[in-house]
Structure 1
Amino acid sequence: MRHKGPLKQFDEFDAWSFSRSGERIRSDEVKFDFPRLAGDESISASHVENWEISGRINAKSESVIRFQGRFSAEFSCVVCGSGVQHVIDFDRHLVLVTSESQADVYDEETLDEQTDVVACPGAINLRDWLEDEILLACPMFPKHDACSDVAGRSWRDSESDEDTDDHQDDTAGDTKQEVQRPFANLGDLLKGSKK
């Protein structure tokens, strides 16, 4: 009988048992490659410094998986296009439910911004799940601080230009109304008809 390799066991990972037994896995114990992170076109270089996955049962008797860690990456700045370096810490708590319908009706008011609900009907690929969390932690619009300031000024300038244009249009409209004044001569006409 063939035994699973050291990483093969995580291809069909039982998150429910893992959380019930309060287990923990760290990057210094298991080495994962992250091909989607390495192949992402918006990321020119990346390095996952450390990660940890732990399971627990919370006060409501729910199964929870926690993903936390740190990675660094160089992204393309959305303003200037050159590289911008980010060091990103992630920490997410995922409450497990058995189906999408359970996840849809979950009371999200009880969750904080680091906690989410996920449907986990069976075994999952743990490496892919961890990689999802790393990719979700990446900034949507990476930019340098200086580029953020420039983009903010440009936005404010364009907004003030629009205000000026609106003001000019209003003024132009006022002038037009003053010039046309369709009933301006009505008084003269009425005086003429009385004569």
Structure 2
Amino acid sequence: MSAFVIDAFDFSRLKERREGDVLVSDLARLSAESVNKSASLHWTLQGGADSLNHPQLIVSVSGSIELMCQRCMTPLKFAVESESILILAKTDERADEIDALLDDDSVDVIVGSKALNVMELVEDEALLAIPLAPKHDVCPDNAALDDLMGAKKPSPFAVLKGLKQ
């Protein structure tokens, strides 16, 4: 994975904004979940501060990746559209304090860093957006499954009932 490292606190204070595209194949953990490694995702990172003046990053990821349908084991296109607000804290203790103070499930409080890898943030965001067990709403070709279901063996109870008569 190509490292793109920022000082998260300076990035937020200066209200910087960066964006780009990254190949799924460059994100090891996401690549392991994807069927098509050549897909790419678009990402945006915006620095700023929340209403209480805590430094924050807004990370968004969009694009389409192919996952394996857990029902029919064929590729499934999945649209990634995700955005997270990350409040930055200097320590774990301060992160817990801010989290309790905000009491807001729509934001995450993380420990910021002077060497924060943006691609890891992007990959985390994409991984959190994909389903744990992806499935088509309606699988495209259930013919093989239907054949298996249609070729049912007779129930052992039906065989016993036949013998009894």
TM-score higher than 0.5: yes
Moved over 4 A (4+): none
| Counterpart AA for 2:114 | G
Determine what percentage of the aligned residue pairs are the same residue.
26
Matches of 1:99 and 1:60 in 2, distance apart?
18
1:74-122 Cα offsets, whole Å, 9 max, x none, are: 1111222221111110111100011122223421763243x21111243
| Equivalent residue, structure 2, for 1:55 | 47
Which position in structure 2 is the counterpart of 1:123?
115
SS of aligned partner of 1:122: coil
Structure 2: gaps spanning 5 or more residues? 140-165
CA RMSD of aligned residues (A): 2.3
Cα distance between partner residues in 2 of 1:48 and 1:56: 26
Alignment of structure 1 residues 124-143 onto 2, 5 Å: 124-143=116-135
- CA offset digits 1:17-44 (Å, max 9, x no partner): 00111110011xxx5453315631x310
TM (norm. structure 2) is 0.70
Asked which structure has the greater RCO (Cα within 8 Å, sep 6+), the reply is 2
Partner residue of 2:136 out of 140, 144, 168: 144
TM-score, normalised relative to structure 1: 0.61
Unaligned 5+ segments in structure 1 are 1-6, 148-195
Whichever structure has more strand as a proportion of its residues is: 2
Letter in 2 for 1:117: V
